[in-house]
Chains A and B, each alone.
Chain A
Amino acid sequence: MSAAAERGLFSCGTCGLVSRAPAAPGAACPRCHTRLAFRKPRSIAHCWAYLVAAMALYVPANTLPIMYTSSLFGSSEDTILSGVLYLWDSGSWYLALIVFAASIVVPLAKIIALAALAASVQFGWGSRRAERARLYRLVESIGRWSMLDIFVVALLVALVQLTALAAVRAGPAAPAFGAVVVLTMAAAQSFDPRLIWDDERR
Chain B
Amino acid sequence: MNRELLACPECDLLQHIPAPRPRKALCARCGAVLYRGGSGPERTLALTLTALVLLALANAFPILTLELQDERTTATLAGAAAALWSQNMPLVALLVLFMALAMPLAELTALAYLLVPLARGARAPGFAAVFRLLQFASRWGTVEVFVLGSLVALVKLGHVASVEPGIALGSYGALMLVMAAIEASFDPRELWARASFA
Contact = CB atoms under 8 A, between A and B. Distances in A.
B184 interface: no
Nearest to A165: B68
Interface string B116-140: 0000000000011001100100011
Contact of A134 (B31, B69, B100): B31
Contacts of B149: 147-152, 154-155
A32 interface: yes
Interface residues of B, number: 66
Q: Is the interface of A mostly helix, strand, loop or mixed?
A: helix
Pick from B64, B86, B156 the residue with the most CB of A within 10 Å.
B156
A89 to B, nearest CB: 10
Contacts of A87: 152, 155-156
A3 B14 contact: yes
Nearest to A167: B87
Given A148-B149, A150-B92, A18 B84 contact: no
B14 A129 contact: no
B73 A159 contact: yes
Interface in A156-202: 156-166, 169-170, 174-175, 178-179, 182, 185, 189, 193-194, 196-198
A162 B155 CA distance: 20
Q: Is the interface of B mostly helix, strand, loop or mixed?
A: helix
Interface string A54-73: 00000000000000000000
**Across chains A and B, which 5 residue pairs bring their CB atoms closest together, nearest first?**
A151-B149, A11-B7, A158-B75, A158-B80, A4-B7
Interface of A: 1-5, 7, 9, 11, 13-18, 31-34, 86-87, 90, 92, 95, 98-99, 102, 129-130, 133-134, 136-137, 144-145, 147-152, 154-166, 169-170, 174-175, 178-179, 182, 185, 189, 193-194, 196-198
26 contacts: A2-B14, A3-B11, A11-B9, A14-B128, A15-B192, A32-B127, A87-B152, A90-B159, A130-B29, A133-B10, A133-B31, A144-B145, A148-B149, A150-B149, A154-B92, A155-B80, A155-B149, A157-B83, A157-B84, A158-B84, A161-B87, A178-B92, A193-B30, A196-B30, A197-B13, A197-B30
